[in-house]
A and B are shown apart, each in its own frame.
Chain A
Amino acid sequence: MARKSSATAKIVTTGFAWAMALLIFFPILWIVILSFKSEGDAIATPLTMLSAPWTTATYTEVLNRSDYFGFFWNSVILAVGSTLMALLIAIPAAWAMAFQPGPRTKDLLMWMLSTKMMPAVGVMVPMYLLFRDLGLLDTRIGLLIVLTLVNLPIVVWMLYTYFKEIPTEILEASRMDGASLRSEILYVLTPMAVPGIASTLLLNIILAWNEAFWTLRLTTVDAAPLTAFIASYSSPEGLFYAKLSAASTMAIAPIVILGWFSQKQLVRGLTFGAVK
């Protein structure tokens, strides 16, 4: 009896899971479909979209109108650059907190995380004024700094969790073997933490790639990444659904592909420490 009811339960839960997955995936599917339709078909009512002819004309139009690769290149520089900068700061920071904790280490970690709880818009005006006065508006270096700082707490937290899993005795052994602090981090800690560092790196690249609040507000043209590229298609003269969809598809495609190929690493990283 138990077997039978569990088989039914399995069908129900599987069905439910598929339904939820489709629900979450639907907007992306919709965007992709829209992007292959003409502007007229995209807004036609009643909905005749699915039967309307497929076209790649929208993509050609978008590529002609905007410098996609300029935006794409900015996104790559900002996402990868800010991630590497954050790692450079976070590895020694997480080392210190994991292996040389002081009486206030836990508070420090909480405080760092608490900065993520504050709405970004709360500091928008001072940030904007700072950027203006320092001449950082619409510069890659300015955005690199902001994205690094925005994601730093999460990077430190993730690395801290990974480092905590590394037995202290191994680091002590390296100290006995004559390793300096630099050698200890370089030759022993970092290689052992590579899986953790890799998933932190991937997650942070995704977060930085998708970051839209600061990238939209602090850039116009020169340093604008793909988020600004999408936004440029939601213009005052009206929404062009097909073009907006094509732009969105082109903006999310690289990160979806990256996420797809690294999903094993990502899932492992995100559940690290959860199951001992």
Chain B
Amino acid sequence: MKYVSEFRDSALAKGLIAQVCRLSSTPARFMEFCGGHTVTIFRYGIRQVLPQTVTMVSGPGCPVCVTANKDLDKTIALAHFPDVILATFGDMLRIPGSHSSLQQAKAEGADVRMVYSAMDALNIARENPEKHVIFVGIGFETTAPTIAASVLQAAKEGLDNYYILSLHKLSPPVVKALLDSGEVNLDGFICPGHVSTVTGSQAWEFISRDYGIPCVVSGFEPLDVLHSISMLVSQVETKRAEVEIAYRRGVQPEGNPTALRLMREVFAPCPADWRGMGEIPASGLKLREAYLEFDAETAFDIDSGPTRETEGCLCGQILRGVATPQDCPLFGKACTPEEPVGPCMVSSEGSCSAYYRYGGEHA
């Protein structure tokens, strides 16, 4: 098993496509929650090979994209504090806030460093005891446990120069808010693979139970996504609504108990602002009382000024699945990956970026 090429096998893929075409007779709209799935779907041209009965809708599962301008402004303001090293995942660097971006702050002299994990940020804190090292905690349930682990490690070592700006988001509450809004009519849900490795497939039971919508947890290779679509089609055609796993090599129904325990020990749910969706109760994570000394918002008096939303940018609607990038008047004109207006054009997992980069070529 090499875990990559087998899941891109052309003959197997064609077999799955034929199976979807054979099974599907009822028109169905499926949402892929996760930006990673959106990228796979575009990178492999999956929409082109699906029967006309199956429509794919992209969801809000891009953590950078859903971060509100207010929170981006806070991040940029923190980078400008004296003696601060701001460590962040690479995707955040180019995202425009109200007036600037971290990339711009870096060019103006702020010490902004790209890291691959919170443990790298912790290392920077160890090596620079005279500096304040702030790690931008962003992402869904996938990243939160490792960031929780970094806080526990910092506490154990007695590090007093390591902070977290917690912009974490939880995925089930946003799905619930989306479904409650009644804006999108969905017949199936491709549940996020990496989030589910932590939460387990159990996190999605409410979708099938309360809303009668079939769910399949999917991996990120083209065969994973095609397999998941075929399982959703099968549920639709046999009028079932269950949570199934098409990503057994990564996901268990109960998830990862250790990761969940770490996350719950350090973080507590709190309301969070989502781009395009406003405040959603209990959809964010804040540091618990016992770990407040690591909280950047408590330690620094952040004044990020008034926020500004970009006129004409449809990122909000696109994240809710009610508009596509092509509906946006800025797409490909005022907003391109070189000069992005909205975050969905910047993030490698953003819908606009996937539409723009991979196009919808039928050659």
Question: Do chains A and B stick together as partners?
Answer: no
